């Protein structure tokens, strides 16, 4: 190994100045690229459209979201609400609002007492650094919210962005415990391979790629909806949904995804309750 202590190294003043000047140029360019900030106008407007005159209050909702993400194309998010989820007191809907996305409304999740636990996970797209809001509506008509700041940086290691794939190969997946004890809350994991083409993207020829997303999901337990979701273009490709239901009795679980083009993809799973 080289014994470095025996060597001298000196940066000349000119070298230091040149390096500093280069850094300043980059910093200046970065500063001019910073956008002006508005105070959550987009999310406020989207909330108003959904909630009407109900003013959401801060509390009861928790949003699990990374503080810094390198890939804004697929950001895991988990929303949970502090609620007993009984017939008398439960969450009826949860909404997700990414303030600075082209569509500042990502999804609505429909819940009820048969969910047993008010916790939903999915993956969203984040166009830039912003605040993401989650709002929960309870059955008593009140609304509760929280917000979380997330910094979105450019992608790390140079993976090429592929051009729009015209062929959509849809495949559904579902995972749930093989058996459950009666009355226990179980987690259902679902995913569907789908590009979730937002309609905001252009292909390599510069033409806009038309919107095509899964816009609705529903989970039926013996024919009755126990959980559902409405998706908007801010949901990431291959939409993933984790949610909970109460395994009340043995029966069939039917999951349906509805595509913008009218197609319906479904999957049936049996729940065995001991």
Partner 1 sequence: MQDIPTTTLVAAAGFVAGIVFGATAQRTNFCTMGAVSDAVLMGDFRRLRAWVLAIALALLGSQALHSAGIVDLYQSIYLTANLGWLGAIVGGLLFGFGMTLAGGCGYRSLARVGAGNLKSLVVLLVLGIAASMTLGGLLALLRIWVIEPTNVVLGGTSNPRSQGIVDLLAALFGTQPGSLRWVVVGLVAAGLLWFSLKDKGFRNSAPNLAAGMIIGVLIPLGWLITGVLGADEFEPVPLFSFSFIAPLGHSLQYLMTFTGATISFGIGSVGGVIVGAFLSALVARQLRLESFADAADFKRHLIGGALMGFGGVVALGCTIGQGVTGMSTLALGSVIAWLAIMAGSIYGIRYLETGSLRGALGALFGRA
Under the rule (CB under 8 A), what is the footprint of partner 1?
A: 1-2, 4-5, 7-11, 23, 26-27, 29-30, 64-68, 70, 76, 148, 153-154, 156-160, 173, 175, 189, 191, 240, 242
Smallest separation, CB 196 to partner 1 (Å):
16
Which is closer to partner 1, CB of 135 or CB of 191? 191
Q: Distance (Å, rounded) from C-alpha 127 to C-alpha 200?
A: 11
Which is closer to partner 1, CB of 141 or CB of 158? 158
Which is closer to partner 1, CB of 138 or CB of 240? 240
Return the bridge partners of 1, or none.
none
Smallest separation, CB 52 to partner 1 (Å):
32
Which is closer to partner 1, CB of 171 or CB of 249? 171
Which is closer to partner 1, CB of 46 or CB of 188? 188
Q: Distance (Å, rounded) from C-alpha 32 to C-alpha 17?
A: 23
Provide Rg for the chain, Cα atoms.
Answer: 24
Smallest separation, CB 173 to partner 1 (Å):
6
Instruction: Give 83's contacts (C-beta < 8 A, 6+ positions apart).
Output: 60, 89, 90, 91, 118, 136, 138
Question: Which among 120, 127, 143, 105 is positioned nearest to 63, based on CA atoms?
Answer: 120
Smallest separation, CB 124 to partner 1 (Å):
14
Smallest separation, CB 151 to partner 1 (Å):
8
Q: Distance (Å, rounded) from C-alpha 225 to C-alpha 218?
A: 7
Distances, alpha carbon 195 to alpha carbons 110, 130, 175, 204, in Å: 23, 23, 21, 17
């Amino acid at each position: 190994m080289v014994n470095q202590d025996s060597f001298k190294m000196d940066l000349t003043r000119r070298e230091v100045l040149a390096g500093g000047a280069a850094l300043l140029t980059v910093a200046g360019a970065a500063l001019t690229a910073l956008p002006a900030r508005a105070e959550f106008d987009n999310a406020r407007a989207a909330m108003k459209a959904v909630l009407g005159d109900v003013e959401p209050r801060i509390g009861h909702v928790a949003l699990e979201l990374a503080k810094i993400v390198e890939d804004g194309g697929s950001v895991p998010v988990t929303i949970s609400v502090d609620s007993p989820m009984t017939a008398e007191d439960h969450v009826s809907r949860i909404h997700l609002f990414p303030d600075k996305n082209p569509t500042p409304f990502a999804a609505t999740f429909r819940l009820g007492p048969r969910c047993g636990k008010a916790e939903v996970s999915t993956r969203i797209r984040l166009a830039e650094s912003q605040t993401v809001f989650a709002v929960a509506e309870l059955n008593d008509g009140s609304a509760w919210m929280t917000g979380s700041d997330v910094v979105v940086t450019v992608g790390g290691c140079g993976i090429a962005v592929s051009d729009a794939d015209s062929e959509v190969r849809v495949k559904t997946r579902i995972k749930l415990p093989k058996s459950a004890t009666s009355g226990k809350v179980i987690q259902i994991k679902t995913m569907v391979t789908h590009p979730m083409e937002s309609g905001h993207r252009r292909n390599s020829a510069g033409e806009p790629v038309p919107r095509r997303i899964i816009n609705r999901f529903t989970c039926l337990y013996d024919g009755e909806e126990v959980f559902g979701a409405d998706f908007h273009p801010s949901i990431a490709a291959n939409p993933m949904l984790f949610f909970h239901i109460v395994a009340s009795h043995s029966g069939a679980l039917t999951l349906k995804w509805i595509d913008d083009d009218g197609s319906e993809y479904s999957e049936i799973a049996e729940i065995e309750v001991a």
